[in-house]
Amino acid sequence: MTRLAHLWDQSRCIACGACIAACNAANYGSATEENKTWRWLRSNIRRVEVLRGPRPMLLLVQCQHCENAPCVTVCPTGASYKDVDGLVKIKPELCIGCKYCMVACPYEARWLDERTGLPEKCMGDECLSRVSQGLLPICVEVCPAGARAFGDLDDPSSEISRRLARSRYVRLLENKGTEPKYFVVVGP
């Protein structure tokens, strides 16, 4: 079995935004219009700055590709689904734009493309194409700090498995029961 997942290493991230810019360029043709849902660049990665507490903190949020994905459960047409590799995807031809998936996602990882009236999410078409060819998603490929990884959790020799084995990490909102496959490394 294959269970593809993302890793973002908060302890290595230099907050350069290369992953966000690359996602915009690869999946949205370097679009300059705003993603109005997040009030941000058209990208599938949302930058969240936490300014309260002892020190400022950056969090990069994107689709968690949950094992128990609420966006899939609520979709009335089957447009949101999990593929055989465990990635949560959208079939645009089945989507009716009801936005149930956007509301159901506890991570707010989907945004509305106002041009099409349909939700968007990680991974975009270019990244899905890359992964199908055995390449890494563009955000992983361009990270200059090596703060990202992607791969099969069921393969102990994959980079993501090796990094998780030697790191302290968290999964966001684990208490929601979604079993997210987006791991945030917080230290060695």
Q: Which residue has the tokens 């689709």?
A: 63
The CATH code belonging to domain 4-67+122-187 is 3.30.70.20
Cα separation, 110 vs 71, in Å, equals 9
Instruction: Give the chain's radius of gyration (CA, Å).
Output: 16
Q: Which residue has the tokens 């496959």?
A: 181
Residue 173 reports pLDDT greater than 90? yes
Global confidence as pTM:
0.92
* pLDDT for the residue 53: 80
Q: What is the mean pLDDT of residues 155-178?
A: 96
Q: Model confidence over 28-66: pLDDT tens digits?
A: 999 888 889 998 889 999 999 888 888 888 999 999 999
- Domains of the chain, residue spans: 4-67+122-187
Q: Model confidence over 131-159: pLDDT tens digits?
A: 999 999 999 999 999 999 999 999 999 99
Taking a C-beta distance cutoff of 8 angstroms, is the pair 158, 177 a contact? no
Cα separation, 23 vs 141, in Å, equals 11
